[in-house]
Amino acid sequence: MATHFTKTRILSRVKANKSLWSLPSTLLSNPSSPTKPQNVILGRLVPFFLARRYESVEACNVEDGDQVLDFPGGRVALSPEMRFIPESAQERISCYRVLDDRGQLIDGSTFKDISKELAIKMYSQMVTLQVMDTIFYEAQRQGRISFYLTSIGEEAINIASAAALTGDDVVFPQYREPGILLWRGFTLQEFANQCFGNKADYGKGRQMPIHYGSNKLNYFTVSSPIATQIPHAVGAAYSLKMDKRNACAVTFFGDGGTSEGDFHAAMNFAAVMDVPVIFICRNNGWAISTPTSEQFKSDGVVVRGQAYGIRSIRIDGNDALAVYSAVHAARDMAVSECRPILIEALTYRAGHHSTSDDSTKYRSADEIEHWRTSRDPTARFRKWIERNDWWCDVDESALRTNLRKELLHAIQVAEKVEKPLLKELFTDVYDELPSNLSEQERELRRLIENRPSDFPADVPL
């Protein structure tokens, strides 16, 4: 280490990657708007995507004056004043938004243009997700499937982010992102097959309902343990980088997942290795029954990106245009600059955590109703496309009627399809079944033979 002295400004001598502050203007529809708020995506400056990378510098002769420590991690100013960094900034990081709650464009907002065709497809898929959740939830309550979990209130994050990605981008979901699959072509029948665990289910009935996956659509299978998918996504992104692929990895998680060690290990690995991964946190206010006020004391999740040296942004997760624009910009930066990006999407889980939960036990019905009615992302986006004369009540009625018929038919078909063979419980892990698993299968068959009433009768032996 070497200590240097200089009369010039210290910060001007810090080596930083200046490309961090540029964003291709082609991403933006109005980069020169004169009425931009301070913290929105701009054509040449991205103050919302916060992060600089400081590089180590070689020792050099400088003039006498203020002290500078030439540390291996980068040059640091020395100060005779003992000053602790405050626990939080004086002002919270603001939230990028394009549409207000009435579905009107905010003056001076900058966003990625979308066509009429794309807008209608996005809205139709948001409605599809909404109707699918309602019908499958009812099916669980009727005892036709064992479990379900909805994305009610988070349709914009699902569909708008999917629309901004490409089919080559690899997705590592949590469990509230079926809209990504829906956008990529997963059919309603495929959703029903998985929830009913029949032999047409790609997981062969070995997963709980809503644990979807598709190799063809680059969507890794949902796994129940919280945050385990985050480091997996970083590893996949590292592989994409080594293969020089024009794609990125994308992982979704809730605010509760940021309290897991996997989140922190993944963030640090991604930042140090400069991998093309997008972290999308659905901060929906509740980690089951734990509110964000008890989850962390920091200014949400977005500040954690800056702590790890990752460019970050906070967005309105109930604004489809904001989500689409931010994810589109994030993907461009992740792929073209080979870097990680963190997006904190503020939203609200308007449904129960799952069919095993009653959220009215820990939050008021009035709070839920307010978000369902006043801040519903699907209704907000509908107002915008209606203002553009792209949608009307007749279209709405036809869409919802047809969707309900398709979903009810898919459920009826899925119920009639035979369950997977019993032996499928033990396959697809080893090329040749080891002796211990063979013994377990024999023991299971003996138990079923001796106590048939304790096991489901519709599973073929």
pLDDT higher than threshold 50 for residue 371? yes
Range 311-324 average pLDDT: 98
Query: Helices 229-242 and 261-273, interaxial angle, to 10°?
Result: 10
Nearest-angstrom CA–CA distance, 340 and 267: 8
For 37-81, what is each residue's pLDDT tens digit?
434 443 433 445 655 555 544 444 444 346 888 888 788 888 889
H/E/C letters for each residue in 274-320?
A: CCCEEEEEEECCEECCEEHHHHCCCCCCHHHHHHCCCEEEEEECCCH
What residues pair up with 66 in beta bridges, in sequence order?
Answer: 6
**322 within 8 A of 96, measured Cβ to Cβ:** yes
pLDDT higher than threshold 90 for residue 242? yes
pLDDT higher than threshold 90 for residue 24? no
pLDDT of 73 reads 79
**Nearest of 24, 25, 46 to residue 96 by alpha carbon:** 46
For 179-209, what is each residue's pLDDT tens digit?
999 999 999 999 999 999 999 999 999 999 9
**165 within 8 A of 109, measured Cβ to Cβ:** no
Instruction: Give the lowest-confidence range in 35-44, 174-183, 260-269, 389-398.
Output: 35-44
pLDDT of 50 reads 53
3-class SS of residue 201: coil
pTM score, whole prediction: 0.85
For 282-300, what is each residue's pLDDT tens digit?
999 999 999 999 999 999 9
pLDDT higher than threshold 60 for residue 13? no
pLDDT higher than threshold 70 for residue 367? yes
Catalytic residue set: 138, 224, 353-354
